[in-house]
Chains A and B, each alone.
Chain A
Amino acid sequence: MRIPAGGVTLGGPVSNQPPTILHVDMDAFYASVEMRDDPSLRGLPVCVGGEADKRGVIAAASYEARRFGVHSAMPTAQARRLCPDLVLLPANFDKYTGVSREIMSIFHRYTPIVEPLSLDEAFLDASGTERLFGDAIAVGQRIKDDIKRELALVASIGVAPSKFLAKLASDLDKPDGFRVIQEDEIRTVLDPLPVSKIFGVGPRTAKRLESLGVLTVADLASRSRADVLREFGASGAWIHDLAHGIDTRRVSPNRVEKSHGMERTFAEDIGDPEELRLLLYEFCEEVSFELRNRGLRGRTVTLKARYANFKTVTRSKTVDIPINGGKRIYGVARELLAKIPEAPLRLLGVQVSNLSDVRAPIQTGLFNLPDPMRPDAPDSRTTEALDKLRRRFGRGTVVPASLLRRRSPKREREGEDEAK
């Protein structure tokens, strides 16, 4: 049985356990991968994202670009104003997913307890690795070196007694950082930080705290727990704990995904129902591929649509039997699309939730109701084979015929033909 991460003892003095939690975060991941693969880009302000005239946003910015004030999630148009020489590249998710898989496999050399947070970020628990690889600090160093040597990419790593502190540590020293927070230096590190550094304190909470005279983590930690609880309710307990460096969350390798979806803001509003249906089908195919990749299927399909005036509607439907086939998901999503008022859309998205493992038992039905999960269903063999092709040659390799006349998702990603 593992000792809970963080090794926090209730009430008593903080035990002097060595830190075991690692947070690994790749520096400017998408941009770094692009610059690695094209040496001519090095030293230039490179960004990955959508084009300005298509209402694109920046997905990742190199440190050269960040010097101009460009950061991720910023509209590309604004980024271009800040940095007219910006080199904008379209996102190539197939490539990043591949690199991500390589990074994750490096993590798994050292510990099985890896909790990926995204393509380029993960928590690791290195407790129990001492006799094989040394303590968590040694493991962190080795991972950083492995990534650098084998993938020519730079990771920032934080090592600390808890998840919160590990994430904080990797951020403190970025880029190319390696920061350890020992149990006995928690206060020294936390105290001077602004409260907004606490996970869970967003701009609104920060503002409320400020009005109470709480600016730094030290201010928050010195408040009585009862006070904070009264002011902020249940989330008060959480932020008060964190301010004291208390975070008992474990690194959970099989973090349960709650939903999986995809949405897109269009370059121009789209009103043609046929065009919208095709896009929706494309999204459903993408989402279903991701679900199958993760060994999941879901029962609830949610459609999201944003109209030209930014009014956003969502419609959901829950089916009896969990599904992960593109056509089935689309079948439900199309029904939902037909139910919303017809008008030009700015954004369309689909999400599948209520997820379960494909290996979970399935209650079969009496009356030949759709039973797509049966291993002998003619569709599932084909899907399996197609998925293999997609994994090997890229997602756009095989697409449904009705999506053929459109550009394939892969080509679009590579930006060969962004115009309609």
Chain B
Amino acid sequence: MKVLCEREKLREGLTVATSVIPMKSTRPAVENVYLVATDDALELVGTDLDVAVRFRIEDVKVEEPGTALIPARVAADFVRDLAGDTVTLRTKGDNLLIESGDDCCELTTIDPDEYPVVARFEESDSVRVMAATLTRLVSRTSFAAAREAGRYAMHGILTQTEGDELKMIATDGRRLAMASAALEDADAGSKSAIVPTKGMQLFCRVMDDPTELVAVHFGESQFCLKTTKAEVFARLIDGEFPRYSAVIPPSTENRLEADATTLTQKLKLVANVTSSDTRAVRLSMEKGALTIFGRSASTGEATAHMPVDFDGKPGTIAFNPDYLIDGLKNCESDTVRLEFNEKTSPGKFTLGENYVYIVMPITIDA
């Protein structure tokens, strides 16, 4: 193959590809980036076998179509440090030459047959959504997904369509974030998939124009996204997502409304004294006032007060302050609403329109 392209575009493509490509793999071929030069474009393919990306660079001059499999990180580093504006990629025997101006590097290539097959985006039955919408839903939910080992099904974001609505839900078993937004299509039907959090984050990375309309496809075993520049595929999590709707309280007896910024600041203040093994703050509420209290046996205790709107029976409920702060970071309205029934039942936070965050309380003196 022989291709001439802009250095900046190649650099961008290699950055996206290497964000997927693993440093070490049991299948060494995937530590490489796969270059495919067709008549009018150069494609960079990277995968870690769970997530895959095809990054397409157009406006290239393909003198000789072909493919090459080259070490991903070395190539990315070399191209990043090049000074010239254009780069030529050309195979020479078993090697690939990267040339720019007076500078050149010759990389050993690997037999492309060793590379796994990466799918192509299927246009049929795909759903269109604004890039900004997708990114927003991911950032509103992904922080609540499970990170620690176990509970495989919770390591992803449950992504669903229903009519013209796209909904995402993530949970680690102790808190749950759910957000929805409108699709560009009037009726996308009813679809559902658990997309690994890592894949979702990659999707967000390749969407650099928020106003772009992107297409998503709910495949048999993959969730796929297509932008003008890239196609991204994430292998679905094959498991049963917890029955989340059961934990969202349909009606609540206590309702608190507070200024989100002040609440965040007060929570952080009190959380300072709580230790990692007793990460808990107690919220005591009565008409017009909220008291936040935290203590730890080794450090001491702290109290903060703030005015709030409270409607219900004066009482207390305790939470992990980190969970609350995580949610409040994404709060889009000035006021946050907390609704709950008892101090042992889930707290429902409304953080914006079509955006709820459920946090299970901490029981003290179990």
Name A's B-contacting residues (CB within 8 A): 320, 356, 358-367, 369, 373-375
Contacts and interface: CB of A to CB of B under 8 A. Distances in A.
B318 A361 contact: yes
B325 to A, nearest CB: 15
A374 B173 contact: no
A373 B364 CA distance: 11
Nearest to A372: B366
Given A364-B360, A366-B171, A359 B365 contact: yes
Interface centre among B243, B346, B366 (most CB of A within 10 A): B366
Nearest to B154: A367
B3 interface: no
A361 B174 contact: no
Contacts of A365: 173-174, 360
Contacts of B344: 364
A45 to B, nearest CB: 48
Contacts of A361: 278, 280, 318, 362-364, 366
Given A356-B277, A367-B243, A362 B173 contact: no
Given A364-B344, A366-B173, A375 B366 contact: yes
B366 A369 contact: no
Interface in B336-366: 344, 346, 358, 360-366
Contacts of B243: 367
Contacts of B358: 366
Contacts of B242: 366-367
Interface centre among A320, A359, A366, A374 (most CB of B within 10 A): A366
Nearest to B319: A363
B366 A374 contact: yes
Contacts of A374: 363, 366
A408 to B, nearest CB: 31
B150 interface: yes
A367 B247 contact: yes
Contacts of A359: 365-366
A364 B278 contact: no
A364 to B, nearest CB: 5
B320 interface: yes
A373 B362 CA distance: 12
Contacts of A375: 366
A364 B243 CA distance: 17
B93 to A, nearest CB: 50
Contact of B277 (A360, A366, A367, A369): A360
Interface in B263-303: 277-278, 280
A369 B153 CA distance: 14
A360 B278 CA distance: 7
A358 B277 CA distance: 12
B247 A358 contact: no
B176 interface: yes
B295 to A, nearest CB: 10
Interface of B: 150, 171, 173-176, 242-244, 247, 277-278, 280, 318, 320, 344, 346, 358, 360-366
A310 to B, nearest CB: 32
B278 A363 contact: no
A56 B48 CA distance: 55
A366 B346 contact: yes
Given A356-B277, A369-B173, A364 B363 contact: yes
A373 B366 CA distance: 7
B3 to A, nearest CB: 51
Contact of A366 (B175, B280, B362): B175
Contact of B247 (A356, A360, A366, A373): A366
A366 B365 contact: no
Contacts of B360: 363-366
Give 4 closest A-B pairs by Cβ, nearest first: A361-B280, A367-B242, A361-B362, A364-B360
B363 A367 contact: no
B174 A366 contact: yes
Given A361-B363, A374-B366, A375-B366, A366 B176 contact: yes
24 contacts: A320-B150, A320-B173, A356-B277, A358-B366, A359-B365, A360-B277, A361-B364, A361-B366, A363-B320, A363-B360, A363-B362, A364-B174, A364-B360, A365-B174, A366-B171, A366-B175, A366-B176, A366-B244, A366-B247, A366-B346, A367-B243, A369-B173, A374-B363, A375-B366
Contacts of A369: 173
Contacts of B175: 366
Given A361-B364, A367-B242, A367-B243, 4 more contacts: A320-B173, A362-B366, A363-B320, A373-B366
A374 to B, nearest CB: 7
Contacts of B365: 359
Contacts of B171: 366
A360 B274 CA distance: 12
A364 B362 CA distance: 6
Contacts of A358: 366
Contact of B361 (A320, A364, A367): A364
Contacts of A362: 362-363, 366
A367 B364 contact: no
B92 to A, nearest CB: 52
Nearest to B274: A361
B366 A367 contact: no
A366 B323 CA distance: 14
Nearest to A375: B366
Contacts of A356: 277
A373 B173 CA distance: 17
A367 B242 CA distance: 7
Contacts of B278: 360-361
B297 to A, nearest CB: 8
A360 B358 CA distance: 22
Contacts of B361: 364
A243 B244 CA distance: 63
Nearest to B242: A367
B362 A367 contact: no
Nearest to A374: B366
B144 to A, nearest CB: 10
A367 B278 CA distance: 22
Contacts of B363: 361-362, 364, 373-374
A375 B344 CA distance: 12
B317 to A, nearest CB: 11
A106 to B, nearest CB: 28
A365 B246 CA distance: 13
Contacts of B174: 363-366
